[in-house]
Structure formats: structure tokens, C-alpha cells
Amino acid sequence: MEEKHREEGIFGHDYHHELKSIAHSLKEIAHTQKRIAFCLCKLVPSPATGFEITQTGDTMPITGVPAGGQGSFMAVTDPPGSSLQAGNIPVWSVDDSLVSITPSTDGFSVSAAVAASDTAASFNLTIAGISSNGSNIQTVTNVPILPAVTVPATGFVVNQTA
């Protein structure tokens, strides 16, 4: 018969089985803690680290706004599903005095109107807010100013003047 190796303590007790049982229990506890942490992450969104800005109505992220026209933009928190501090409404700003902005009440979208006299090539559109962890976050995107849209004549309107 084959003799089994036993780790015996001071009083001749076989601790091998007990140590294996403790190790198995610790692994189960660690696995359970990971599952709990994963579930909590799903319940409590991670803090936002910035925003992603897109131009609404277009398939490309930012296409530009024509001089004398306006464009609409929206933002979502980055990473997706992250959160801002409770009650925080993002604030929009621009670096061109000939561009006026009108933000939505929730702060996640804005309309930007470019003056017809604006000769700049672009403007910087910025959104800022406070992440759920209390840190200030902001994202800046450059928006091209496109040539003014001209409507080609399709005919004449004749009016009698006298």
C-alpha cells in the first residue's frame, strides 16, 4: 500500500485538508466580491471624464456651420454611460464673439448661430461640467465656418412701379 504524505502540526493533526478547504473558501469569497463589484458598477455609473460632441442632423461628427447660418450640436458624457454630479447642468461657450449660442435647458445640446460678417475659418465650441466624482471636466471641439449659402436665382419677379 502506498503511504500518503501528511503535514502534521505540533499535536499530530492533519492540516492539509483544512488548508485546502480554507483556500477554496477564500477563492469563492474573492469570486463573490468580483461579482458584487461588477453588479455595483452597473448600478452606479462611473464618473464622466469628458464629453463627446456631435453635430445633430449630420452623419459625420462635426461638419461645420455656414456664415449667416446656424448649426445644432449635442453632447453625451464620456465614457458612455458615465455620470455628472447630481443637478449639474453642463455649460457651453465659444471663443468667437460673432458666434452666438443658445443651450437647451438640460445643457446637453446647443444651437450656434454664425454672423454673416464672420470671416474666421472656425470657432471652438466648449462644454464644461462637473463629474460625479466632483472633478471639473470639459471638452473642446473645433467647428469649421463654411462659406455663406447662396441661393441661385431661378427667375425674376416683375413688379409695376408706376
Q: What are the tens digits of pLDDT across the range 80-131?
A: 889 999 999 999 999 999 999 999 999 999 999 999 999 999 999 999 999 9
Element housing 135 (H / E): none
- Tell me the pTM: 0.66
pLDDT (mean) for 40-67: 79
Provide the pLDDT for residue 60.
63
Quick check: 126 and 94 in contact, CB under 8 A?
yes
Which CATH code is given to the segment(s) 50-146? 2.60.40.1080
Of the candidates 71, 147, 152, which has an alpha carbon nearest to the alpha carbon of residue 110?
71
| 107 SS3 class | coil
C-alpha–C-alpha distance, residues 92 and 72, integer Å: 12
